[in-house]
Structure 1
């Protein structure tokens, strides 16, 4: 299916932290009909996320931090359990996840494996997230983690089975974490002999 897109208006509403645009555009469909849309698009750059797992201990490392958008949307304390993640900020995705892993979790990971790239909210957000996994060991702990100066991040090393239960009961509601936990479960990585 091929669409012809004609931008009528592209106005920047805010460049406070990221770029919020108001766009009016016309789509010419394959049948020749033209449809006009007016949308706001939030350009926050692309990001990367990583799930640290340990097959021997049957554990994963997640982080918990305050996320204002979840609080605004009814998450009572605003705290969210999620995977270690960050914006690329001109870094390559693998460089980003290595940097974020040490800053947020305290683990200096070895080999990382890229799984896929996904849009998490394509109706209005431009961000493409690169998903990675890496095995970790206690010997790779370089510091306590917890984030950089303006962050307050709790590091959670959880049994894999408990993390899956937390998805089922709604304690883990971060899409990145759910996707990567389910990947570990369906791939058999956490059930193979060591």
Structure 2
């Protein structure tokens, strides 16, 4: 599927809304380094009903997610970005073997790995979950909000199979006056802020809908339409 290329001169760039938030000129795959601070593989062994069982697991960091609603314009706020895991998952399909080498960007354009997500981030700082969520809203979407405006919705797990991170969902209403920056992430992050009218966002959770976003986005939207959006 992925072939080694001697010299890769292709590039894939688009700054048009609805396309990629950035420019990706090369993608390649390799083994997980032992010093990764984000992912730690392992195995759990246990005895159940006198039967020895094992489960191969991946330890991942916890996270926060924020359903962000702009009351000034009655729009839900999302972020779009390239996710390497999604790109690999789409390209490799049901094959569980980790590919190595260069990706063919003609056959597998980087847009395959672009996701639509709610604002959020990893719990990787010595701060409260509220403070981390507040920070992510500013960094990713450009809104300065007090922690008091973040409503705790519920806690859940990102998965229960190979990986399982503790996730906390918040809801926050903002107005145009709280927009103090353009957002887009920090450091090397390349994030595009997207605002959708409520009825357009509702299509994301209708029967038969397909998105590249994770379950946190779907769960957050379903909660919003159940508890906040007028019918």
Relative contact order (C-alpha < 8 Å, sep 6+): which is higher? Answer: 2
Is contact 2:43-2:54 (8 Å) kept? yes
Q: What's the counterpart of residue 23 of structure 1?
A: 43
Distance in 2 of aligned mates of 1:61 and 1:26: 43
Number of equivalenced pairs: 175
State the Cα deviation string for residues 33-79 of structure 1 (Å, max 9, x = none).
Answer: 22222222222221111011134532111100001111111176210
Greater strand fraction, Structure 1 or Structure 2: 1
Tell me how far 1:162 sits from its aligned partner.
0.6
The answer to whether the 8 A contact 1:112-1:132 is kept is yes
- Scaled by the length of structure 2, the TM-score of the pair is 0.70
Instruction: Evaluate the alpha carbon distance shift between residue 104 and residue 93 of structure 1 in structure 2; reply closer, same or farther with a 3 A threshold.
Output: same
Alpha-carbon separation, structure 1, partners of 2:215 and 2:179: 26
Deviations 1:116-162 (A, max 9, x none): 11102121213100000000100010100000121100001110111
Q: TM-score, normalised by structure 1?
A: 0.82
> Equivalences for 1:170-185 in 2 at 5 Å?
170-171=210-211, 173-185=213-225
The change in CA–CA distance for 1:173 and 1:19 in structure 2 (over 3 A counts) is closer
8 A Cα contact 1:166 1:172, kept in partner: no
Match of 1:83 among 118, 126, 135: 118
| Structure 2 residue ranges without an equivalent (≥5) | 1-32, 92-108
Q: Which of 73, 95, 99 is 2:131 aligned to?
A: 95
Q: Please list, as runs of the form range in 1=range in 2, the aligned pairs for 1:18-97 lying within 5 A after superposition.
A: 18-28=38-48, 33-55=49-71, 57-74=73-90, 77=111, 78-89=113-124, 90-97=126-133
Work out the CA distance in 1 between the residues paired with 2:201 and 2:173: 16
